[in-house]
Amino acid sequence: MEQFRLPKIPLPELALPQAVQQVLQEAEQKLAHRPKLLQLFKNCFPNTLETTTKKMDDGTTFIITGDIPAMWLRDSVEQVIHYVPLAKNDAELQRLISGLIKRHMANIQIDPYANAFNESANDWHWNTTDETDMSPWVWERKFELDSICFSMRLAYAYWKETELTDIFDSGFKAAMRRIVELWKTEQRHFELSPYRFVRDNGIPTDSLRNSGMGMPVNYTGMIWSGFRPSDDACDFHYNIPANMFAVVTLRQMREMAEWVFRDMAFVKELKQLEEDVEHGIQLYGIYRHPEFGPIYAYETDGFGNYCLMDDAGTPGLLSITYLGYTTADDPIYQNTRKFALSKENPFYYEGKIAKGIGSPHTPPGYIWHMALSMQGITANNDEEKLAMIDMLEATDADTGFMHEGFHSDDPAIFTRKWFAWSNSLFSQLVYRAMKDGLL
């Protein structure tokens, strides 16, 4: 395998926007009684801006994921989403976030199948021998349905928070059209799609079977995905949380098409696609579990086969209320949450120090900080939220930051000491608890 990894790229130091500084000052008061949690928050909340963000000369923003010198569409959105509520009256945050949105739209037009991009057309790649249609701009070309959902999620949230429309140019409209064309193609993957992906590195989850096309699927109305949010190949290629995210995204795109672009024909097209995907989820995506009752499956192939699990990454089954697909009082979501946080989920672990959801992306017994943060964010009671904050505070291995996965018996054994998305999601949980008066 030829894998191209670069050392840490030094980024120009950014002055923290005033609104971010104000949040840190607020934390000094509200978290003063918990000095370790305060220090964690002061480290993690600005981490994206301090270590991963670069303002480009063309007015865009490039954000690396942390210890990898490329920009993942998904990660870069979640690395900044906790700043969006602060952006309404902060011109510097507006510049950074709108610049990231504009760069995403350009990337989507370059290759809507790609999940991670380079800063320039430098022809750097995660793996130089991947069998797929690469571009010099593309770092990795694993098609993950959720990736461009995140791009639209950020644009929609920015628009709603700031009421600014500077991001809605011709490039944005072109990216929207490209997304719809892509998703319609991938509704009928085997009949219409040119996408193939093979990585000959001996790791089964890094490659698609069946000559790079993936395992057979039945038409359901849902959208095919090659890979999960963890970057691992799907077992069955209709990933239910990602399709739920696509439904939410189509609703948001429909609103933008109607109220910004005034394109009612496009609105109708988006509505039809949304209904197709939603119908598929409800018809094919629910599994009747003998213990928990009807739950949302993690994946299906439309032939009656299901993958029953949850993964620490977003979107996952735990996070579908966070994404806005359903609400916490949805009885099927409640059943699903109980399943995901039980030993029936093959990636739920309980150890001497912690319990929570991990991932097939990391070794057995490893819990992800992101899963604990998401469990807290989506909890419907204060006790669970505070319990997750306590567990996160206790498992940083005294590094002052969140990680990817850590061993449930020994948090000092962990993966990825520099993982900005995890820092941001933790910050989002703590900030929400601060605003709700829980801390």
pLDDT in tens, 348-396: 999 999 999 999 989 999 999 999 999 999 999 999 999 999 999 999 9
Q: Are 100 and 61 in contact (CB under 8 A)?
A: yes
Q: Which domains does the chain have, with CATH numbers?
A: 18-345 (1.50.10.10)
Query: In this predicted model, what pLDDT tens digit does every residue of 205-255 receive, in sequence order?
Result: 999 999 999 999 999 999 999 999 989 999 999 999 999 999 999 999 999
pLDDT 10s digits, 174-203: 999 999 999 999 999 999 999 999 999 889
* pLDDT at residue number 14: 75
| Cβ atoms of residues 311 and 359 within 8 Å | yes
Q: State the pLDDT at residue 10.
A: 52
- Would the pLDDT of 144 be above 80? yes
pLDDT of residue 3 exceeding 70: no
Q: Report the percentage of the chain scoring pLDDT > 90.
A: 93
Bridge-based pairing state of the strands 138-140 and 116-117: antiparallel
Residue 4 pLDDT level (bands cut at 50, 70, 90):
very low
Mean pLDDT of 21-37: 97
Q: Return the percentage of the chain with pLDDT > 70, whole number.
A: 97
Phi-psi region of 324 (alpha: psi -120 to 50; beta: other; left: phi over 0): left
Phi, psi of 139 (to 5 degrees): -80, -45
Cβ atoms within 10 Å of 74's Cβ, excluding its own: 24
Lowest mean pLDDT of 9-18, 106-115, 429-438, name the range: 9-18
